[in-house]
Amino acid sequence: MKYLIVNADDFGASRGINQGVIAAHRQGILTSASLMVTAPWSEEAAGLGHASPELSVGLHADLTSSRSRESADWLSEARDELGAQFTRFRQLTGYLPTHLDSHHNLHRDPDLLPLFLELASEHDLPLREHSGVCYYSKFYGQWGGQTHLEQISPNHLEHILRTEIGCGVTELSCHPGFVDPDFFSSYSMEREAELVSLCDPRVRHTLEEQNIELISYQELARSRSNSDLYSVAEEDRRPG
């Protein structure tokens, strides 16, 4: 069987991104999102998540302390910051995250990775690229600092579904959103292009054609058939 989790990064970064994530979930194929708890619109994002109980919400950690390593205690500060963001997630949402990843995939840093692995292990959370879920990141509208909308077109997304999604569970990461004049990002108009593709009815038809089943991280955690991937306690998980 082929199972696909479609996960939006940057949930909470701006109002336009929040609205785009919810639109991609309600009108498209998005099943999960990763919340930036220190971002200005994180509280709104948490509320939108509550209003969309089928949407899995994980933690999208953004460790500012890891960017300056002048302090001898920078790694300890990074651990404290990661823990604080985990606590903040629970304060905002009232439940544990369904999964764990990081802004710009900073958890790939060899110094920081043990901190993420420790947190993921403590709470039985799938950490991006360190679980039974295959991570696919090439649905992205920039290359070499240039915009390439053809990489996030409906046709290309269909091509990805036909050629890149194998047996087992795959996470396809994405960054849908609406352009927000109050939010500066080098990845802006591309977000709206992604949103259009995620909501295109041809994409859903291709999923059916390829026998790909959409699931979310919370469905994965609840599924007994995937108990070999994760040992997940139902206690203190997101209700529903």
pLDDT at 234 over 60: no
Assess contact for 227 and 121: CB atoms under 8 A: no
User: What mean pLDDT is predicted for residues 63-90?
Assistant: 87
User: For residue 67, what pLDDT is reported?
Assistant: 67
Residues 190-232: tens digit of each pLDDT: 999 999 999 999 999 999 999 999 999 999 988 744 444 443 3
Give the whole-angstrom CA distance, residue 169 versus residue 181. Answer: 36
User: For residue 185, what pLDDT is reported?
Assistant: 85
DSSP-derived 3-state class of residue 92: helix
pLDDT at 36 over 90: yes
Residues 125-151: tens digit of each pLDDT: 999 999 999 999 999 999 988 999 999
Q: Alpha carbon of 193 to those of 16, 114, 228: distances in Å?
A: 13, 35, 37
Return the closest-CA partner of residue 43 out of 83, 89, 86.
89
The region, left, alpha or beta by phi > 0 then psi within -120 to 50, assigned to residue 8 is beta
Ranges of beta strands (E only) in the chain are 2-11, 32-35, 56-61, 100-102, 134-136, 142-143, 146-147, 168-174, 212-214
User: Hunting for tokens 């352009």 — which residue is that?
Assistant: 179
Residues 101-124: tens digit of each pLDDT: 999 999 999 999 999 999 999 999
Give the whole-angstrom CA distance, residue 203 versus residue 211. Answer: 12
User: For residue 65, what pLDDT is reported?
Assistant: 63
Tally the residues of the chain. Answer: 240
Burial class (CB in 10 A: 0-12, 13-18, 19+), 86: buried
Residues 44-73: tens digit of each pLDDT: 999 999 999 999 999 999 997 666 777 778
What is the helix (H) or strand (E) element at residue 79, kind and residue range? helix 74-93
What domains are defined for the chain? 2-226 (3.20.20.370)
What tokens does 138 get?
Answer: 């090439």
Which of 138-147, 149-158, 159-168 is least confident? Answer: 138-147
Q: Which residues contact 138 (CB under 8 A, 6 or more apart)?
A: 151, 160, 164
Give the whole-angstrom CA distance, residue 47 versus residue 58. Answer: 14
Choice between 5 and 236, residue whose per-residue pLDDT is larger: 5
